[in-house]
Structure 1
Amino acid sequence: MADTLELDALWEDFHRVVNMTSAELAAWLRVRDADEETEALPEESGTPTGRHVLAILQKRRTDLTDDDLRVMRKVVDTVGELADLENEPQPVSTPEDTRRRHRLMTLGHDPLKP
């Protein structure tokens, strides 16, 4: 388990990059997995990482596990690599921009959200 200062910094970084609420993320994960004929069960919607982010958002800091911390680090790193946090929000203008936005939203970060 991380020390208190490291945990505090990770908690803040995670909640800075994950700018979607748990309700917004849950809805996005359901929409993302729905198609014309079927829709996944809510608890099975989205990627494993997206579901884990949703679970973390519903936890208190004191309830985090080592696996939660691993996922939080991964999300902070991935969002940092994919998102230009300094220059957001940006319009989604190309299919590549849309794919990037959808990938970020699966991690709880909507680049168009202020």
Structure 2
Amino acid sequence: MAASAHVDDGLWNEFHTVVNMTSRELREWLNVQAAGERTEEVPDRAGPPTGRRVLEILGKRRTDLTEDDVRAMEHVCEIVRSQRGPSLEPKAGGADWRHGLMNIGHDPLKPA
């Protein structure tokens, strides 16, 4: 089992700001995205790896996070920051853009 990692307040707060979907909303989204006409992913494997990782992190206490979790949190924050900027005001864009962000727990149409 991996040792727990220190997560500074800045990263903790930013992650929980940019990941504006609840774990339930994200899980349902990933399951819907993974369902095809002929196939459906096993729920634990539905969606892209980063989205599943976000779900795992949302299910953990801060004291239980690992170094890998911290790196994943930083990665998600970087992705959202690079595509949204600092304001995170609700913003419409193309469906692929929105869905890509939703795959990691950020709905750009959801009010801050």
- Please say whether Structure 1 and Structure 2 have the same fold, judged by a TM-score greater than 0.5: yes
* Residue 106 (1) aligns with residue 107 (2): no
Q: Deviations over 1:68-91 (max 9, x none)?
A: 000000000001111245263123
Relative to the length of structure 1, the TM-score reads 0.87
Matched with 2:52 is 51
> What is the CA RMSD across the aligned residues, in angstroms?
1.4
The structure with the largest helix share of the pair is 1
Matched with 2:39 is 38
Identity percentage over the alignment?
52
Q: Which amino acid aligns with 1:50?
A: G
Matched with 1:71 is 72
- Give how far 1:49 is off: 0.8
Q: Which amino acid aligns with 2:110?
A: K
Unaligned runs of at least 5 residues, structure 1:
none
- Give how far 1:98 is off: 0.9
**Across the two proteins, how many residue pairs are aligned to each other?**
107
- Give how far 1:37 is off: 1.2
